[in-house]
Amino acid sequence: MPSPVRPARLDFGISGYANNDIWTDGLPICPLSGVGMSANQMYREDGTPCSAHEYEDRSIHFCLDRENQTYLYAVFDGHDGAKAAYFASQRLPAELSFEQITPKSSREKVREVFATAFHAVEEAFLESIDHCIAERTQLLDKIPEDMPQVEAARKFPETLDRLQELEKQIRCGTTAVVALIHAGVLYVGNLGDSRALLCKKDKCGVLKVKQLSRDHTTSSHEELQRLAALGLHKHKIEGVRLGNHEITRCIGNYFLKGGYKEFDILSPASAEPVISVPHIDVVPIDDSCSFLLLMSDGLYKSYQEATGSQQVNKEIAQMVVEQFVEQATITSVAQTVVDKVVRLHHDRYLTQQNNFSGRDDITLVIRNFSFRLRGPCSGSRSPAGALAPGPSCALEPPLAESRDAGSSEEEGGGETVSDVCTSQQTSLHSSSNASIFHTSSTESSDVQRPSLNPLQLDEDGRIVSYVSFTPYYQALREANKKGIISDTQLQLYL
């Protein structure tokens, strides 16, 4: 497929750069997406935040092939440094940009290339630190094994300093949650605990959120079963931190892979316990798809710590829906959601300081499919004016036409997003966007086109309404009776 000119040799080295240039700067940003982020924070006793380490998250949201509607999005949550996350953010687009995927590629072929890309990034990163591993081995040979650490520090101070530098580079790794869109199909792959959430409408028009990724941690039942099959004891490893985290799949982190025998808890394993084999989900993009969220664990864990919620995915998706109504760009939607979670977390710390002392980096990538943004140029068009793929002009169904929030979930599961939020969006766009419905082939049957004849006035000299909000008002009053919205909210929406 059409792509930027590939250099004669892609040498990413230890820094992640290709030929000393950031080659992905040549890839166009997807105008249907936006990113929100916030650096990690540690809280002092007076509540003042400060960063504990460098910002270790990285994200991408590229249009790989505009003609064939091929897009790539990802969030990489680095640990023990940002090097692995940065390397992956540069290398992964290269693995998917140079004719590996063509317009004629089948789903099976795309899925195969997609899965292989994760392995290629892993191999390239570990190769880039080979010299660090070799130098560390040589330096360790200079220090007698039975020498106490205090004596070693006195006799070999420079050697130990260099060992610390090398081990930092060898230890670093990253999670990865990646979404590839090609030929109307969404491919989502992940390693670690960064998440991908797809928000879509069910047959009744109710918005639901489904997690497409898997959490690869020592608290995951599936991962514990995999580790047990390698000879590890489930009860000894369940919930245990491996180094500075609990993730069991990642890119990088050599010590937990090739060097796992150095860890007592992992040494009984018959093969590498921490792997880079991704979980992959394939979902056709259709009229029901509203938007996709990719997030580092800093977002949902901070929200859970701040609120104690057991429905984190649903409530974060609902926050996004609310901001689609309020904001004019997808980036502002993403950043506002991040800022709200940051504020909630900080406020919770100020009231209950013993619960936690800080939070991790946060990154949120939003890819919009059909949800309307506030503003005259949002709707079915991207900020750049290009038509969005798939339907995007149909109104979200009002509350009166939706099933109760407690109705059964769609096939494959998912959490229902508040219908009230959906009805708010309906009311806003029923009036503000009525003038553009004639441009869409999916015009709502509930909305009449504005007449091209001279405006008709009633007996009081007012323009005769061509949009009926009666179902909307009825739905709000019913929601109020059921306790879904308060009297104050009712008055606000009316």
- Residue whose token pair is 């006799």: 155
Among 19-33, 155-169, 211-225, top mean pLDDT goes to 211-225
Average of pLDDT values for 276-302?
97
Which pLDDT score, from 0 to 100, does residue 23 have?
67
Choose between 387 and 287: higher pLDDT: 287
User: What tens digit of pLDDT does each residue of 442-492 get?
Assistant: 333 332 333 344 445 555 555 555 566 677 777 778 887 887 777 766 766
Local confidence band at 103 (pLDDT 50, 70, 90 cut-offs): confident
Is the pLDDT assigned to residue 120 strictly greater than 70?
yes
In the chain, the N- to C-terminal Cα span, in Å, equals 51
Amino acid symbol at 369: F
Which pLDDT score, from 0 to 100, does residue 29 have?
94
Is the pLDDT assigned to residue 391 strictly greater than 60?
no
Amino acid symbol at 478: E
Write phi, then psi, for 216 (nearest 5 degrees).
-90, 90
Handedness of CA 273, 277, 128, 253 (dihedral sign): negative
User: What tens digit of pLDDT does each residue of 128-156 get?
Assistant: 999 999 999 999 998 998 899 889 889 99
Which SS3 state, helix, strand or coil, does residue 38 take?
strand
- Residue whose token pair is 């509540």: 47
Burial of 55 (0-12, 13-18, 19+ CB in 10 A): middle
- Separation CA 175–CA 173 (nearest Å): 7
Q: Where are the beta strands (DSSP E) in 313-429?
A: 358-359, 362-368, 415-416
Token pair recorded at residue 299: 């977002």
Model pTM above 0.85: no
For the ranges 181-185, 269-273, 341-345, 356-360, which has the lowest average pLDDT?
Answer: 356-360
Q: Across all residues in the chain, what is the average pLDDT?
A: 79
Local confidence band at 404 (pLDDT 50, 70, 90 cut-offs): very low
* Nearest CA-CA partner of 316 in 364, 247, 279: 364
- Separation CA 263–CA 259 (nearest Å): 8
Residue 120 CA: distances (Å) to CA of 195, 250, 277, 298, 352: 21, 13, 11, 26, 45
Which SS3 state, helix, strand or coil, does residue 439 take?
helix
Average of pLDDT values for 349-373?
87
Which pLDDT score, from 0 to 100, does residue 3 have?
39
For the ranges 80-89, 109-118, 180-189, 444-453, which has the lowest average pLDDT?
Answer: 444-453
Is the pLDDT assigned to residue 54 strictly greater than 70?
yes
Is the pLDDT assigned to residue 395 strictly greater than 50?
no
Q: Are 79 and 241 in contact (CB under 8 A)?
A: no
Which pLDDT score, from 0 to 100, does residue 223 have?
97
